[in-house]
Homo-oligomer: A and B are copies of this chain.
Amino acid sequence: PNKKRIITDTFNFPSDLYILQGIKQNLGNQHEIIRIGASDNDITPNIAELESAMNENTALVTLSHVVFKSGYIYDMQRITELAHKKGALVLWDLSHSVGSVPIELDKCNADFAIGCTYKYLNGGPGAPGFLYVNKKIQNKLSSPIWGWWGQKNPFDFGLDYEPADGAQRFLVGTQPMISLLTMEAGLEPTLQAGMDAIREKSILMTDYAVYLTENVLAKYGFTLGSPTDSSQRGSHISIRHEDGYRINRALIEEMNVIPDFRAPDNIRLGFAPLYISFAEVWEGFDRIRQVMEEKRFEKYPKQKLLVT
C-alpha cells in the first residue's frame, strides 16, 4: 500500500492503461505509472528495461500475457519471479492468450489475472470477463467495488458490508445469467480438444502464416510484425504495410476476410485452432495477394472509419 510505482508497457491493451490512469487519479495522483517500450520495431518488449525498472518501490507489474498487436508472449514464470524478488505483485491480462496458449497461473505463482472470454473462448462480444486471485492473498484484499455478491451473507441484506471469504468477495452484482449459460457451449470445444492439442495446431498455423508472409506477401511490401520464433508468439500475427488500413478495408468489403487493423500499420490475423483449417489460412493469404495484385485497396480513402 505504501509502494507507489506501477510498471506496465506500451504493448498492453490501452484499456488496461486507462484503468490504471483512472485509479491513479482517484487516489490523488500519488502513483507513478511506468510504460516500458519496445526493443525493436514494436514487436518485442524491452525485457532488460522492464527488469531494471522494477525497484523496491514497485507495487504492481501488469502486462498482457500475449500482446495485442504483435502477438509477443511474455515468459510468465520468469517475469513473475523477477517482480516477486522486488516485493511487487503481478497482474496478467490473459485476453489474447486464454484458450490458445497453455497457462499455469498457480505454478507460476501469479498474483492476479484477468481476461475476456470473447476471443479464443468463443463467448462473443461482451461475454463475461474473469478474474484470478492467488489463494494466498485472497483474504488480505478486498475489491474496490463493494457489491452485494461479494458480501458474506448477501441474502441477509445487512446494512454494512462484510466481505465473503475467498474469491467470492471479488464478485459485484448479480451475474449475467444468459451470457453465463451461453458460455457453456463456448467453452465445451476447448475442453474437449485440450490445451496441448490447441497449442500444437496454433503453432503450425502461425508458422505457416509467417511462411506465407515471407514467401507470398513480402514482394508487395509486407513485413512481419510478430516474433519469428513460435515460442515467443501467441495465436495471432500482424503483417505490416504502409497501406495497411486501406488493404484491411478492401479485405473486409470485397474479399470476405475480416482482420483487425491496429495503428499504425498492423493488419492483425487471428488463428483460432478449433475451427480454422490450414486450407483457409492459404485461402486468406491468397486473397490478400489478390488485393495487392489488383490494387483493390487504392480506391479506399486513407481517412479512417470510426470502428476498425
Q: Which residues of A contact B (CB under 8 A)?
A: 10, 14-15, 17-19, 21-22, 26-27, 35, 116, 118, 124-129, 142-148, 151, 153, 155-161, 173-180, 182, 262-263, 304, 306-308
Other 7 A-B pairs with CB < 8 A, given A18-B161, A179-B179: A19-B146, A21-B146, A26-B26, A125-B176, A125-B177, A155-B304, A157-B263
Bound together, the chains give a CA A230 to CA B126 distance in angstroms of 40
Bound together, the chains give a CA A144 to CA B129 distance in angstroms of 19
Q: Which residues of B contact A304 (CB under 8 A)?
A: 155
- Take A127-B176, A178-B124 as given contacts and tell me if A156 and B18 are in contact as well, using a CB distance cutoff of 8 Å: no
Q: Which residues of B contact A308 (CB under 8 A)?
A: 155
Interface centre among A19, A178, A182, A306 (most CB of B within 10 A): A178
Bound together, the chains give a CA A21 to CA B153 distance in angstroms of 16
- Is the beta-carbon distance between A14 and B159 smaller than 8 angstroms? yes
- Taking the closest CB of chain B, its distance from the CB of A264, in whole angstroms, is 10
Q: Which residues of B contact A19 (CB under 8 A)?
A: 145-147
- Is the beta-carbon distance between B15 and A126 smaller than 8 angstroms? no
Copies in the complex: 2
- Is the beta-carbon distance between A155 and B306 smaller than 8 angstroms? yes
Bound together, the chains give a CA A146 to CA B144 distance in angstroms of 14
Q: Which residues of B contact A129 (CB under 8 A)?
A: 173
Of the residues B17, B160, B176, B177, contact of A159 by C-beta under 8 Å:
B17
- Take A155-B307, A263-B156 as given contacts and tell me if A178 and B17 are in contact as well, using a CB distance cutoff of 8 Å: no
Interface centre among A15, A27, A156, A179 (most CB of B within 10 A): A15
- Is the beta-carbon distance between A178 and B146 smaller than 8 angstroms? no
- Take A263-B157, A306-B155, A307-B155 as given contacts and tell me if A18 and B148 are in contact as well, using a CB distance cutoff of 8 Å: yes
Of the residues B21, B127, B147, B176, contact of A15 by C-beta under 8 Å:
B147
Which residue of chain B is the closest to A146 with respect to CB atoms? B22
- Take A26-B144, A145-B19 as given contacts and tell me if A158 and B125 are in contact as well, using a CB distance cutoff of 8 Å: no
Q: Which residues of B contact A118 (CB under 8 A)?
A: 174
Bound together, the chains give a CA A14 to CA B159 distance in angstroms of 5
Which residue of chain B is the closest to A305 with respect to CB atoms? B155
Q: Which residues of B contact A180 (CB under 8 A)?
A: 126
Q: List 30 A-B contacts (CB under 8 A).
A: A10-B159, A14-B148, A14-B151, A14-B158, A15-B146, A15-B151, A15-B173, A17-B160, A17-B161, A18-B151, A19-B145, A26-B26, A26-B27, A35-B159, A116-B174, A118-B174, A124-B177, A124-B178, A125-B176, A125-B177, A126-B175, A126-B177, A126-B180, A128-B176, A155-B304, A155-B307, A176-B179, A178-B178, A178-B179, A179-B179
